[in-house]
Amino acid sequence: MGKRRAQQLSDRPSTKPLLSISDEMEAKEALILEIRRHIKAKLLTSKDHGKTKTELDNVLRLPKGLLKNIDDACHWKPGFFTAKYNKKFAFMAVWKSTLNESFASLSSETLAEVMATSSTDQPSSSSAALPLSIDPSSSSTPPVTKLKEEIRGVHKGLTSILASHFKSDTGQSLKNEVFGLFKTAMSEATNYCQEMTFLLQATMLKFATTPSPDWYNGELKYLSASDLVPVAALRHSDELSREMTFFALPPPTRALADDLFSIGHIQYLFSSTFGKTQASTKTNRSVWSYLDVDVTTRRPDLGIMTSELRSIYNNKMETNVQNLLSGKSFKTMLRYLLRLLLRLWLAPQREKRHHDAKANAAAAKAAKTKEVEVNEVRQLKKQWSHVRTALRRQEWQLAKDKTKGSFNNVKQQGYDSRISHLKSVLVRCQAGND
């Protein structure tokens, strides 16, 4: 089993449900825990707890995703919890009672956590960092869907904590340091993405233009322009005299195509250009070594562009290449190319008449445009038509804005000024035409 496949399997959640509900009492307790978790997440992102309490009191239905978290924890299908227990007890009644009983304690608990985090750099206890719906003694980790609101709350909480430090005099240096680091990291990430994209494009170009004879069992296969496009369809006759030839692609072996431009190949491009590559890698991957390009490029700052951060961009580049080769756009371009070649070979006369008609229509349009440009009368008529359209547009907009309550004398004066100007221009154009 490959390393990447093993990593995917290890990242899968356990098949054992995180939550087990067997009766109505356990279902109500699970709902109460989810409601408390939702309230705490709201408090973490709120600056005014009183306003948050009022908003939660005015809720008419349970927040979106709250019941789905219970279904996910129990490994149930979406909507199973609602279908099974909505007639056994009132969900909104549990919401109201939990809100009234737990809001004060959750508010004080949230404020204490924020104060402790802002006063010290030490992390809070592990039990406080766990979601409310999970037992701290449990060794299972909650699914990603249950942590989304917690992550969002921590992100906003970090922003508020940094903002409180920035307000002080001593926080100005911290502000400059933090935002300077953010700016440097964004610049380095942009440079890394540009450099790696350039390397990947250069490698793809070398693959298409300079193939190795070993890929074709020692014999390169060439194609000329006349092999694909009929001679009668070539736009320039000198293309035949220059003997335009190129190599036939893709290579015949499927293994070679699967191995190129993969995540491993992209990582090899980085190591061979900016670092050191093991000799065994070059020996086992002779195709990668053959496609090395000798370019001068800027070395990224590896102190900022760590391996974890580089892997994000490398995976994106691999995804983009795979989408290009196997996605809808590649199939569409290939279909258009085949359709054009079939027309050129099977119906050359009809295709020639079609392209001649398009060329004649373009030439007629260009001649008409040039005639208008040199004819002063037609230029004035064209300008008069444009001014009349603009005048009608202003009059229509004025009638529409008069029906709105925000319309005032200032807007009326603006419309009157624009309309009077357009009318004066219209009169001058009309006088020129006469």
pLDDT over 90 (residue 111): no
Cβ-Cβ contacts under 8 Å for 432 (sequence gap 6 or more): 377, 380
pLDDT for the residue numbered 117: 67
pTM to 2 decimals?
A: 0.41
Question: What's the chain's average pLDDT?
Answer: 77
Q: Indicate the pLDDT class of residue 137, thresholds 50, 70 and 90.
A: very low
Lowest-confidence segment of 127-131, 331-335, 363-367 by average pLDDT = 127-131
pLDDT value at residue 389: 92
Distance of CA 257 to the CA centre of its chain: 27
Q: How many CB atoms lie within 10 A of CB 146?
A: 21
**Which carries the bigger pLDDT value, residue 245 or residue 351?**
351
pLDDT digits (tens, 9 = 90+) for 171-208: 567 667 777 777 888 888 888 888 888 888 888 888 87
E-assigned strands of 216-308? 222-224, 245-247
Lowest-pLDDT range of 240-249, 317-326, 352-361, 390-399: 240-249
**How far, in Å, CA of 264 to CA of 76, rounded?**
38
In this structure, what are the phi and psi dihedrals at residue 247, rounded to the nearest 5 degrees? -85, 150
222 φ/ψ angles, rounded to the nearest 5 degrees: -110, 150
Residues 6+ apart with CB under 8 A from 131: 37, 142, 146, 147, 150
Confidence of residue 87 (pLDDT cuts 50, 70, 90): confident
84 pLDDT band, cuts 50/70/90, is confident
Q: Is the link from the previous residue into 250 a cis peptide, with omega within 30 of 0? A: yes
Confidence of residue 316 (pLDDT cuts 50, 70, 90): confident
What is the rounded end-to-end Cα distance, in angstroms, of the chain? Answer: 86
- Domains of the chain, residue spans: 14-166, 188-328, 334-373, 375-433
Lowest mean pLDDT among 30-44, 223-237, 364-378, 409-423: 223-237
Q: What's residue 161's pLDDT?
A: 59
CB burial string 83-96: b at 16+ within 10 A, e below: eebeeeeebeebbe
Average pLDDT over residues 351-364: 89
Segment 39-62 mean pLDDT: 85
């006759």: which residue's tokens? 237
